[in-house]
Protein backbone atom coordinates (compact mmCIF):
# COMPACT_ATOMS: atom_id res chain seq x y z
CA UNK A 1 0.00 0.00 0.00
CA UNK A 2 1.33 3.43 -0.95
CA UNK A 3 1.92 5.63 2.06
CA UNK A 4 1.82 9.31 1.19
CA UNK A 5 3.16 10.56 4.48
CA UNK A 6 6.79 11.60 4.16
CA UNK A 7 8.51 14.98 4.42
CA UNK A 8 7.37 18.29 5.91
CA UNK A 9 3.85 18.90 7.14
CA UNK A 10 2.17 19.86 3.85
CA UNK A 11 3.67 18.13 0.84
CA UNK A 12 2.34 16.57 -2.34
CA UNK A 13 3.02 13.17 -0.75
CA UNK A 14 1.21 13.54 2.55
CA UNK A 15 -1.68 15.97 1.98
CA UNK A 16 -4.98 15.84 0.13
CA UNK A 17 -6.70 19.14 -0.67
CA UNK A 18 -10.49 18.96 -0.87
CA UNK A 19 -12.56 21.77 -2.36
CA UNK A 20 -16.25 21.00 -1.75
CA UNK A 21 -18.75 22.55 -4.10
CA UNK A 22 -21.74 20.88 -2.43
CA UNK A 23 -22.76 20.57 1.17
CA UNK A 24 -23.62 24.13 2.10
CA UNK A 25 -27.25 25.24 2.05
CA UNK A 26 -26.47 28.95 1.93
CA UNK A 27 -24.84 28.49 -1.48
CA UNK A 28 -27.48 26.39 -3.21
CA UNK A 29 -28.16 29.23 -5.67
CA UNK A 30 -24.65 30.73 -5.81
CA UNK A 31 -22.44 29.21 -8.48
CA UNK A 32 -18.73 28.70 -7.86
CA UNK A 33 -18.31 29.54 -11.55
CA UNK A 34 -19.29 33.17 -10.95
CA UNK A 35 -16.33 35.39 -11.74
CA UNK A 36 -14.56 37.64 -9.28
CA UNK A 37 -12.35 39.90 -11.33
CA UNK A 38 -11.32 37.89 -14.36
CA UNK A 39 -11.54 34.44 -12.76
CA UNK A 40 -14.30 32.16 -11.40
CA UNK A 41 -14.36 31.68 -7.64
CA UNK A 42 -13.58 27.98 -7.97
CA UNK A 43 -10.53 28.59 -10.15
CA UNK A 44 -9.16 31.01 -7.57
CA UNK A 45 -9.38 28.26 -4.94
CA UNK A 46 -7.72 25.76 -7.28
CA UNK A 47 -4.88 28.19 -8.01
CA UNK A 48 -4.28 28.67 -4.29
CA UNK A 49 -4.29 24.92 -3.71
CA UNK A 50 -1.78 24.40 -6.51
CA UNK A 51 0.63 26.73 -4.71
CA UNK A 52 0.71 24.56 -1.57
CA UNK A 53 3.11 22.02 -3.07
CA UNK A 54 4.18 20.84 -6.54
CA UNK A 55 1.70 18.36 -7.99
CA UNK A 56 -0.35 18.25 -4.81
CA UNK A 57 -3.54 16.17 -5.08
CA UNK A 58 -6.58 18.46 -5.35
CA UNK A 59 -10.03 16.93 -5.19
CA UNK A 60 -12.97 19.09 -6.28
CA UNK A 61 -15.96 17.27 -4.83
CA UNK A 62 -19.17 18.01 -6.75
CA UNK A 63 -22.21 16.39 -8.32
CA UNK A 64 -22.63 19.22 -10.84
CA UNK A 65 -21.45 18.21 -14.31
CA UNK A 66 -21.03 21.83 -15.42
CA UNK A 67 -18.64 22.34 -12.52
CA UNK A 68 -16.84 19.06 -13.18
CA UNK A 69 -16.36 19.81 -16.87
CA UNK A 70 -15.16 23.34 -16.13
CA UNK A 71 -12.57 21.99 -13.70
CA UNK A 72 -11.39 19.49 -16.29
CA UNK A 73 -11.16 22.27 -18.88
CA UNK A 74 -9.04 24.19 -16.36
CA UNK A 75 -6.56 21.32 -16.40
CA UNK A 76 -7.44 19.52 -13.17
CA UNK A 77 -8.48 15.88 -12.98
CA UNK A 78 -11.80 15.28 -11.22
CA UNK A 79 -11.61 11.83 -9.61
CA UNK A 80 -15.34 11.24 -9.15
CA UNK A 81 -18.83 12.68 -9.30
CA UNK A 82 -20.18 13.12 -5.79
CA UNK A 83 -23.08 10.69 -5.19
CA UNK A 84 -26.50 12.31 -5.08
CA UNK A 85 -27.21 11.08 -1.55
CA UNK A 86 -24.20 13.05 -0.30
CA UNK A 87 -24.76 16.15 -2.40
CA UNK A 88 -28.19 16.63 -0.81
CA UNK A 89 -26.85 16.37 2.75
CA UNK A 90 -26.35 20.06 3.33
CA UNK A 91 -23.63 21.13 5.72
CA UNK A 92 -22.32 17.55 6.05
CA UNK A 93 -18.75 18.40 5.12
CA UNK A 94 -17.47 15.50 7.26
CA UNK A 95 -19.19 12.92 5.05
CA UNK A 96 -17.95 14.64 1.91
CA UNK A 97 -14.42 14.48 3.32
CA UNK A 98 -14.71 10.82 4.27
CA UNK A 99 -16.08 9.98 0.83
CA UNK A 100 -12.98 11.52 -0.78
CA UNK A 101 -10.60 9.85 1.69
CA UNK A 102 -12.20 6.46 1.04
CA UNK A 103 -12.03 6.99 -2.74
CA UNK A 104 -8.24 7.30 -2.57
CA UNK A 105 -7.89 4.55 0.05
CA UNK A 106 -9.57 2.11 -2.32
CA UNK A 107 -6.75 2.92 -4.74
CA UNK A 108 -4.30 2.22 -1.90
CA UNK A 109 -3.34 5.89 -1.60
CA UNK A 110 -3.48 7.23 1.92
CA UNK A 111 -2.93 10.79 3.10
CA UNK A 112 -1.97 11.85 6.61
CA UNK A 113 -3.48 15.33 6.29
CA UNK A 114 -6.53 16.95 4.78
CA UNK A 115 -6.72 20.61 3.78
CA UNK A 116 -10.30 21.68 3.21
CA UNK A 117 -10.55 24.92 1.24
CA UNK A 118 -13.65 26.95 0.47
CA UNK A 119 -14.24 28.32 -3.05
CA UNK A 120 -16.13 31.20 -1.41
CA UNK A 121 -13.07 32.63 0.35
CA UNK A 122 -11.31 34.34 -2.56
CA UNK A 123 -8.57 36.13 -0.60
CA UNK A 124 -7.14 33.08 1.12
CA UNK A 125 -3.44 32.70 0.30
CA UNK A 126 -1.33 29.53 0.25
CA UNK A 127 1.01 31.26 2.70
CA UNK A 128 -1.74 31.30 5.32
CA UNK A 129 -2.26 27.55 5.00
CA UNK A 130 1.46 26.88 5.40
CA UNK A 131 1.64 29.17 8.42
CA UNK A 132 -1.36 27.42 9.95
CA UNK A 133 0.28 24.04 9.37
CA UNK A 134 3.16 25.02 11.65
CA UNK A 135 0.63 25.07 14.51
CA UNK A 136 -0.07 21.37 14.18
CA UNK A 137 1.44 19.33 17.00
CA UNK A 138 1.40 15.63 17.77
CA UNK A 139 -1.88 15.93 19.69
CA UNK A 140 -3.61 18.61 17.60
CA UNK A 141 -6.59 17.32 15.63
CA UNK A 142 -7.27 20.41 13.53
CA UNK A 143 -6.10 23.93 12.82
CA UNK A 144 -8.92 26.21 11.67
CA UNK A 145 -8.88 29.68 10.16
CA UNK A 146 -10.70 32.20 12.34
CA UNK A 147 -11.31 35.93 12.60
CA UNK A 148 -11.64 38.18 15.61
CA UNK A 149 -15.24 38.88 16.56
CA UNK A 150 -15.60 42.59 17.18
CA UNK A 151 -18.94 42.85 18.91
CA UNK A 152 -21.06 41.30 16.16
CA UNK A 153 -23.66 38.74 17.22
CA UNK A 154 -22.59 35.18 16.51
CA UNK A 155 -24.24 31.76 16.96
CA UNK A 156 -21.31 30.78 19.16
CA UNK A 157 -17.98 32.15 20.29
CA UNK A 158 -14.52 30.65 20.41
CA UNK A 159 -11.91 31.36 23.07
CA UNK A 160 -8.41 29.99 23.47
CA UNK A 161 -7.82 28.08 26.69
CA UNK A 162 -4.61 27.71 28.68
CA UNK A 163 -3.52 24.69 26.65
CA UNK A 164 -3.75 26.64 23.38
CA UNK A 165 -6.88 24.89 22.13
CA UNK A 166 -10.25 26.43 21.31
CA UNK A 167 -13.31 26.27 23.55
CA UNK A 168 -16.78 26.88 22.16
CA UNK A 169 -19.41 28.99 23.93
CA UNK A 170 -22.99 30.00 23.15
CA UNK A 171 -23.14 32.85 25.66
CA UNK A 172 -20.41 35.48 25.68
CA UNK A 173 -21.69 37.28 28.77
CA UNK A 174 -19.72 34.96 31.05
CA UNK A 175 -16.43 35.21 29.18
CA UNK A 176 -15.17 38.23 31.13
CA UNK A 177 -13.48 40.17 28.36
CA UNK A 178 -11.71 37.22 26.79
CA UNK A 179 -10.63 37.51 23.15
CA UNK A 180 -13.45 36.14 21.01
CA UNK A 181 -13.04 34.39 17.67
CA UNK A 182 -15.29 32.82 15.05
CA UNK A 183 -14.56 30.42 12.21
CA UNK A 184 -14.19 32.39 8.97
CA UNK A 185 -14.81 29.22 6.90
CA UNK A 186 -11.79 29.85 4.68
CA UNK A 187 -9.86 26.63 5.36
CA UNK A 188 -8.98 24.06 7.94
CA UNK A 189 -6.22 21.48 8.22
CA UNK A 190 -6.88 18.22 9.99
CA UNK A 191 -5.39 14.81 10.53
CA UNK A 192 -7.03 12.05 8.56
CA UNK A 193 -6.76 9.77 11.59
CA UNK A 194 -8.86 12.22 13.61
CA UNK A 195 -11.77 12.52 11.16
CA UNK A 196 -11.82 8.75 10.76
CA UNK A 197 -12.37 8.41 14.51
CA UNK A 198 -15.20 10.90 15.06
CA UNK A 199 -16.90 13.98 13.54
CA UNK A 200 -15.29 17.39 13.87
CA UNK A 201 -18.02 18.40 16.30
CA UNK A 202 -16.30 16.13 18.83
CA UNK A 203 -12.79 17.47 18.24
CA UNK A 204 -11.36 18.82 21.47
CA UNK A 205 -7.92 19.82 20.28
CA UNK A 206 -8.39 22.58 17.71
CA UNK A 207 -5.90 25.41 17.27
CA UNK A 208 -6.68 28.73 15.64
CA UNK A 209 -5.06 30.57 12.74
CA UNK A 210 -6.18 34.20 12.82
CA UNK A 211 -6.92 36.06 9.58
CA UNK A 212 -7.90 39.72 9.40
CA UNK A 213 -11.27 40.99 8.20
CA UNK A 214 -10.10 41.56 4.63
CA UNK A 215 -8.51 38.17 4.09
CA UNK A 216 -11.46 36.56 5.88
CA UNK A 217 -13.88 38.02 3.31
CA UNK A 218 -16.43 35.31 2.53
CA UNK A 219 -18.98 35.29 -0.27
CA UNK A 220 -22.49 34.32 0.74
CA UNK A 221 -24.53 35.90 -2.07
CA UNK A 222 -24.31 37.89 -5.29
CA UNK A 223 -24.14 41.18 -3.36
CA UNK A 224 -20.92 39.91 -1.82
CA UNK A 225 -19.54 39.45 -5.34
CA UNK A 226 -19.97 43.21 -5.87
CA UNK A 227 -18.26 43.95 -2.57
CA UNK A 228 -15.52 41.50 -3.49
CA UNK A 229 -14.93 43.31 -6.78
CA UNK A 230 -14.37 46.60 -4.93
CA UNK A 231 -12.06 44.92 -2.44
CA UNK A 232 -10.13 43.23 -5.26
CA UNK A 233 -9.60 46.55 -7.04
CA UNK A 234 -8.37 48.11 -3.81
CA UNK A 235 -5.98 45.25 -3.19
CA UNK A 236 -4.64 45.37 -6.75
CA UNK A 237 -4.04 49.12 -6.54
CA UNK A 238 -1.81 48.85 -3.50
CA UNK A 239 1.93 49.31 -4.09
CA UNK A 240 4.02 46.17 -3.87
CA UNK A 241 6.10 45.79 -0.71
- Percentage with pLDDT > 70 across the chain: 90
The residues with which 154 forms a beta bridge, in sequence order, are none
pLDDT exceeds cutoff 50 at 101:
yes
Give Cα separations from 10 to 7, 158, 222 (angstroms): 8, 26, 33
Q: What is the pLDDT of residue 22?
A: 66
CATH number of 2-237: 3.90.550.10
Q: Which H/E stretch holds residue 58?
A: strand 57-61
Range ranked top by mean pLDDT from 83-92, 147-156, 203-212: 203-212
CA distance 70 to 41: 12
Q: Identify which of 45, 83, 48 has the alpha carbon closest to the alpha carbon of residue 64.
A: 83
pLDDT exceeds cutoff 50 at 1:
no
Buried b (16+ CB within 10 A) or exposed e, 73-86: eeebebeeebeeeb
pLDDT exceeds cutoff 60 at 35:
yes
116-132, pLDDT tens digit by residue? 999 999 999 999 999 99
Q: What rounded mean pLDDT belongs to the chain?
A: 90
Delimit the domains of the chain by residue range: 2-237
Q: What is the pLDDT of residue 173?
A: 83
SS (H, E, C) 159-204: EECCCCCEEEECCHHHCCCCCCEEEEEEEEEEEHHHHHHCCHHHCC
Amino acid sequence: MEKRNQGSYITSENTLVIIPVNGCKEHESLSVLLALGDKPLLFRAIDTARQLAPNIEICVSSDNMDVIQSVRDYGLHVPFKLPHQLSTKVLDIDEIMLHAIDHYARKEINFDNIVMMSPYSPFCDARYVHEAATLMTKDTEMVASVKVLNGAANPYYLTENKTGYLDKHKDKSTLNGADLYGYNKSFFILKTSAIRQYPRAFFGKIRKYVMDDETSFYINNTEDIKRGEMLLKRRNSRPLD
